[in-house]
Amino acid sequence: MDINTHAKILNIQYSPKLGDKFYNCNKIGEIISDNSKEGLDLVIMPEFFTTGIDDSAFVNSPEIEKSSSTLLYFSELARQFGTNIICGTIIEKDIDGKLYNTSYALDRKGAIVGKYRKIHLYNYFGGNEGKKITAGSTPAVVNFDFAKVGMSVCFDIRYPLLYKNLIKMGAEIIISPSAWCTLTSTNKEDMNDFINCWRALNVARASESLVYFITSNLVGKSNPYLYSIGNSMIVNPLGKILQNGQNSECAIFEKLDMSLVRILKREYPIYNID
């Protein structure tokens, strides 16, 4: 791995069109193209970025890895723009017929260099992800050419032991494609509390692990019942929020100083302390 000092990150926050993979992939492609002039080391996009939060996608639109139109499209973009890409999550159909909520990592040549099947599925307060999706079991860290990147997805953020495993595996950046949402009927005061809790989780996961922590979230009304809160974040290892997407579609660009992570890991090897 080429140890670079800085990493150019593009973190995408947007509102997909429900069930329209073609439209959503092309929209993400345009965002990457519009933000590629300075060169990119990593692009991150949200959970369910091709479909939105649409139950029918779980059953009617799963993708098989070897023939995935989504992966083919983003593999070409990775080659075109010379960037690594974390493809949010895709509903993956395995050879055994089981469905997984899977995040894929592509290198600059478009090759699949890592994948992570979401371990902690959301089955609470009306959520039913686990009724159709099988939980993964294996943490994943990708050895990109600029840094070691740990992979997680959305509800994993509530389970700090997963992140402990990722830093033991060498993660310097941890990403979390997300579809963090609440009911559209939530009142303003409760919404503020909900968002504050989300921010606190982002800061905690970064500072306790001494990594850059990046969440790429959906934003806006996701379906008639759910509102995605946005607030996609890039938080540094000291717990400082470097970027926050707030509540609108945006493409967040940030240059990360990787020497900060490496100094902290050397001086305070928290990954070896239980």
Here the CATH number for the domain that contains residue 175 is 3.60.110.10
* 5 band by pLDDT with thresholds 50, 70 and 90: confident
User: 219-232 burial, b for 16+ CB within 10 Å, e for fewer?
Assistant: bbebeeebbbbbbb
**234 with 212: CB under 8 angstroms?**
yes
If you ran DSSP here, which 8-state letter would residue 41 be given?
A: S
Between strands 148-151 and 140-143, the pairing is antiparallel
**176 with 209: CB under 8 angstroms?**
no
Smallest CA-to-CA distance from 246 within 260, 225, 232, 256 is with: 232
Based on the structure, what is the number of domains in the chain?
Answer: 1
- Encoding tokens for residue 20? 């329209």
180 SS3 class = coil
57 SS3 class = helix
**Which residues constitute the domain of residue 130?**
6-268
Q: In residues, how long is the chain?
A: 274
Query: Residue 254 domain-assigned?
Result: yes
pLDDT attached to residue 57: 65
Query: Residue 273 domain-assigned?
Result: no
Smallest CA-to-CA distance from 129 within 202, 55, 28 is with: 55
Is pLDDT larger for residue 105 or for residue 60?
Answer: 105
Is the pLDDT reported for residue 52 higher than 70?
Answer: yes
Is pLDDT larger for residue 121 or for residue 268?
Answer: 121
- Encoding tokens for residue 87? 């493809």
> Crossing angle of helices 160-168/188-209, nearest 10°?
30
Is the pLDDT reported for residue 53 higher than 90?
Answer: no
pLDDT attached to residue 1: 39
pLDDT attached to residue 58: 65
Query: Residue 23 domain-assigned?
Result: yes
Query: Which range, of 125-134, 142-151, 163-172, averages the lowest pLDDT?
Result: 125-134
pLDDT attached to residue 38: 83
Query: Residue 1 domain-assigned?
Result: no
pLDDT attached to residue 4: 59
Query: Residue 235 domain-assigned?
Result: yes
pLDDT attached to residue 131: 86
Q: How many CB atoms lie within 10 A of CB 123?
A: 14
pLDDT attached to residue 2: 42
